[in-house]
Structure 1
Amino acid sequence: MAQKAVVIYSGGMDSFTVLHKALQQGMELYALSFDYGQRHKKELDYAAAVCADLGISHKIVDISAINTLVGGSALTDDIEVPEGHYEEQSMKSTVVPNRNMILLSLAVGYAVSLQANQVYYGAHSGDHAIYPDCRPEFVHKMNDVCAIANYEAVEIVTPYLNVSKTDILTDGLKMGLDYSQTWTCYNGRTLACGKCGACQERQEAFAQNQAADPLEYEN
């Protein structure tokens, strides 16, 4: 019987690649997506379409009520999404307080109920400057906690923790992945804006891989 694993799957490039990375390990996957009130909710439609195509079990869980507690982010509140690269200080406004700890806690609970012993998520080095809950020290501490929080230990698996989005894309392109099946832009409009940090990092990754980005942009 194949080993079970839960994948936190947003519908973006990183988690899309992680999903396929786990799939290559021959695991029985359970994809878990969260509606936390993000303005770019259309990423969930991309996630659902990919899982349906692959025949992977997929749950979308509405946790948008947490915004009554953890507000102040440009991703969830009426705050303009900043333009510029991820490493710019302005991108701190896109931090959702404690988001990954919340998502990981729910995913670990789901894993325990499934008798799965791993939870995958797509933290990478490009996130380290702005997002504390994507840094190695956070992941290591969460792994320590998840080893003792239940009767069954659950491992947090982050295959790209110490590499960049460019490296993630390199790996995905080697796997033959189709990135038109992903949504990256923080603005949930019809087309990607091309100006927010998420778009800029995506475009940079494709340029550095000398590959064409299949996503359509406003400009």
Structure 2
Amino acid sequence: MDSRGSGAGPPAAPAAQVHLAAGHEGSVKRAIVLLSGGLDSYTAAAMVGTLGFSLDALTVGYGQRHARELESARAVAGALGVERHLELTLDLRAIGGSSLTSDAAVPRDRDLASTDIPSTYVPARNTIFLSLALGWAEVLDARDIVMGVNALDYSGYPDCRPEFINAFETLASVATRAGVEGARFHVHTPLIGMTKAEIIRRGLTLGLDYSLTHSCYDPAPSGRPCGRCDSCALRAKGFAEAGVADPLLPR
């Protein structure tokens, strides 16, 4: 595992570096944001930012086939004005078990009402990501973590549910030095009970630029969304129900 200031593709923007930005030196109310480059994590971060938190962003390149989202994460981090943006690299392709970390076909045109967990589920991904965020939070003396999980318009992943988040908070209290010394870690999930349309409307009221985001699981080499994977379908549903055009799609 390593921290890096740039990934595959174009050189990273300054926001992708691990550094202390001017104007944040005196901040004490700090939150670690798990930032994927998608619209959910962008919106969740912005919402928590309105509560007065200084934001530090953590992005994980885990061998996902949609690595373009890493470029979007850098753009979003810049738009949010985060204090630090840390990128970590993991090789979850070595573990396998998901069409996002292998050459297996990504499901397309799936019934979004299905209760089956699709092959795009990455085994224990959110547990891994939250553990990394927890470790960094403890180092930075932060007690708040932000995650853009959603339990309404989602693909049925088990690690996006309130039960999982509650269990992780319990784990954090017994698995860290800060926890056993009495500190309480809180995982903020402001989107967990919102529809995708509600998320988009909320983001627009905050002035978010969703053209910076990326959602597609299986984009074309140009980065154009496939329009047929679960993530594309949920995004399209959200923008349609919100009554606004998706800035990533031609009009």
TM-score by length of 2: 0.81
Matches within 5 A, 1:66-145: 66-69=92-95, 71-84=96-109, 85-88=111-114, 92-126=118-152, 130-145=156-171
- In structure 2, C-alpha distance between the alignment counterparts of 1:200 and 1:115, rounded to whole Å: 39
1:35–1:60 CA contact under 8 A, matched in 2: yes
Provide the rounded CA distance (Å) in 1 between the counterparts of 2:194 and 2:55.
23
User: Does residue 201 of structure 1 match 2:201?
Assistant: no
Q: Which runs of 5+ in 1 are unaligned?
A: none
Following superposition, the deviation at residue 100 of structure 1 comes to 0.3
Structure 1 pair 97–209 and aligned structure 2 pair: CA distance change class (3 A): same
Give secondary structure in 1 for the equivalent of 2:227: coil
Q: Which residue does 1:61 correspond to in 2?
A: 88
| Correspondence list, 1:148-159, <5 A | 148-152=174-178, 153-159=184-190
> 2 CA distance for matches of 1:139 and 1:127?
17
Secondary structure of the residue aligned to 1:92 is coil
AA partner of residue 118 (structure 2): K
Match of 1:51 among 74, 77, 101: 77
Moved more, 45-54 or 71-80: 45-54
Aligned AA (1:177): L
SS in 1 for 2:47: helix
CA contact (8 A) 1:180 1:214 kept: yes
* 1:21-40 correspondence runs (5 A): 21-40=47-66
User: Secondary structure of 2:33's partner?
Assistant: strand
Deviations 1:68-89 (A, max 9, x none): 22x1211111111111244336
Q: Contact 2:38–2:215 at 8 Å: present in 1 too?
A: yes
Give 1 or 2: higher helix fraction.
1
Query: Contact conserved, 1:82 with 1:93, CA < 8 A, in 2?
Result: yes
- Mark the CA change 1:121 to 1:89 in structure 2 (over 3 Å): closer, same or farther: same
Distance 1:121 1:202 in 2: 18
SS at structure 1 position matched to 2:118: helix
2: distance between equivalents of 1:32 and 1:154? 17
Check whether the contact 1:127–1:134 (CA below 8 A) recurs between aligned residues: no
Provide, for residues 152-181 of structure 1, a one-character-per-residue CA deviation record: whole Å limited to 9, x for no partner.
232111111122222211211121211101
Q: Determine if contact 1:86/1:126 at 8 Å carries over to the other structure.
A: no
Q: Distance in 2 between matches of 1:38 and 1:126?
A: 24
Report deviation, 1:216. 2.6
Amino acid at match of 1:118: D
Deviation at 1:49, TM superposition (A): 1.7
Query: Deviations along 1:122-155, whole A, 9 cap, x unmatched?
Result: 1112366520000111111111111222122321
CA distance in 2, matches of 1:97, 1:125: 18
In the superposition, relative to structure 1, how do residues 145 and 39 fare at CA in structure 2: closer, same or farther (>3 Å)?
Answer: same
CA distance in 1, matches of 2:159, 2:203: 23
Distance 1:165 1:175, change over 3 A: same
SS of corresponding position for 2:45:
helix
Structural RMSD (CA) = 1.9
Identity of aligned residues (%): 39
Structure 2: 5+ residue runs without aligned partners?
A: 1-26, 179-183
